[in-house]
Amino acid sequence: MKEGNNMRQQVRPIIALDFPDAATTRQFLAQFGQDSHLFVKVGMELFYAAGPDIVREITAAGHDVFLDLKLHDIPHTVEMGMRSIARLGVTMTTTHISGGSAMMQAARAGLDAGAGSKRPLLLGITQLTSTSEDQMHSEQHIPGSLQADVLHRAQLAQASGCDGVVCSAMEASAVLGATNPDFLRITPGIRPANAAANDQVRVVTPAQAGQLGSSGIVVGRPITQAADPVAAYAQIKRSWNGDTNDID
Ligand SMILES: O=C(O)c1cc(=O)[nH]c(=O)n1[C@@H]1O[C@H](COP(=O)(O)O)[C@@H](O)[C@H]1O
């Protein structure tokens, strides 16, 4: 087994359900059959359209939900927002690290206060996978390498009560080296070889993500817009888990 495989904590690729409404989401999920136990991400597009009801519906169907709303506000507002999120029974959620340590601590306190038996895991957003190092320099006025910035953010997130970060797989092994081994490295920006990058910049294949030390991958359009989403999911899952020599 490759070293990266030992680091993998989420065997299932997390499918980003970036759909405009509940009906489209239901049609998509129905293709996977009643007994499937998927790990899906509900983000802004679906949540702003279908609200907490769609999250409850998906969890009631037996799927794990990563509710990705990327909270970023003053600490009190984020704490109270996270209390509401925790009551939805989701598995993971997100806050922006750039809001600072007080905001992340408040996010964690909100999850602690709002959760029942199982607290949602808190992930900090480092640098979006759509951001290049050049953009970071010119638009954010952050000097140095993008990896160094991601490492700094990851360490701040860990010290502030986060359970992991969202970063690209390109930074995953460095984050692993700079944080506790169980600190999660959830990586979007996943594209099978030859697939369109779309708006993503820091992109790797599912197999590379496994080798680079990701602990979970997030995949949207390569599955949701595939001619056969169930087959695309199965192929990406095999590649991610190192179960195939197929070109991914
Ligand atoms: O927080 C995220 O999930 C996220 C962070 C990030 O840096 N990059 C990123 O692409 N994402 C999300 O991951 C998903 C990627 O979707 P695709 O580009 O279609 O595979 C989208 O739902 C994004 O919102």
Q: Is the pLDDT of residue 4 over 50?
A: no
Q: Which of 2, 35, 53, 73 is catalytic?
A: 73
What are the structural domain ranges in the chain?
A: 3-240
Q: pLDDT tens digit string along 131-150?
A: 999 999 999 999 999 999 99
Indicate which residue's Cα is closest to atom 5 of ligand 1: 128
Note if 118 is an active site residue.
Answer: no
H helix intervals, the chain: 3-7, 22-30, 44-60, 75-86, 101-114, 133-140, 146-159, 172-178, 206-211, 221-224, 229-240
- Going 128 to 68 to 220 to 39, the CA torsion angle's sign is positive
Note if 68 is an active site residue.
Answer: yes
Residues lining ligand 1, CB < 6 A?
A: 16, 18, 41, 43, 68, 94, 125, 128-129, 166, 188-189, 198, 200, 218-222
Question: In angstroms, rounded to a whole number, what is the distance separating the alpha carbons of residues 95 and 35?
Answer: 31
74 labelled ligand-binding = yes
Residue % of the chain over a pLDDT of 90: 91
Indicate which residue's Cα is closest to atom 6 of ligand 1: 128
Q: Which of 64, 68, 149, 248 is catalytic?
A: 68
- What integer pLDDT is reported at residue 248 of this predicted model? 53
List the CATH code of the domain at 3-240: 3.20.20.70
State the closest ligand 1 atom to the C-alpha of 189, by its place in the atom list counted from 1. Answer: 10
Q: Taking a C-beta distance cutoff of 8 angstroms, is the pair 241, 209 a contact?
A: no
Output DSSP code: residue 215.
S
- For residue 70, the CA-to-ligand 1 centroid distance in Å is 11
- What integer pLDDT is reported at residue 33 of this predicted model? 87
Two tokens, residue 57: 């519906």
72 labelled ligand-binding = yes
Q: pLDDT tens digit string along 154-212?
A: 999 999 999 999 999 999 999 999 999 999 999 999 999 989 999 999 999 999 999 99
Question: In angstroms, rounded to a whole number, what is the distance separating the alpha carbons of residues 181 and 171?
Answer: 14
Note if 21 is an active site residue.
Answer: no
- What integer pLDDT is reported at residue 244 of this predicted model? 66
Q: Taking a C-beta distance cutoff of 8 angstroms, is the pair 233, 13 a contact?
A: yes
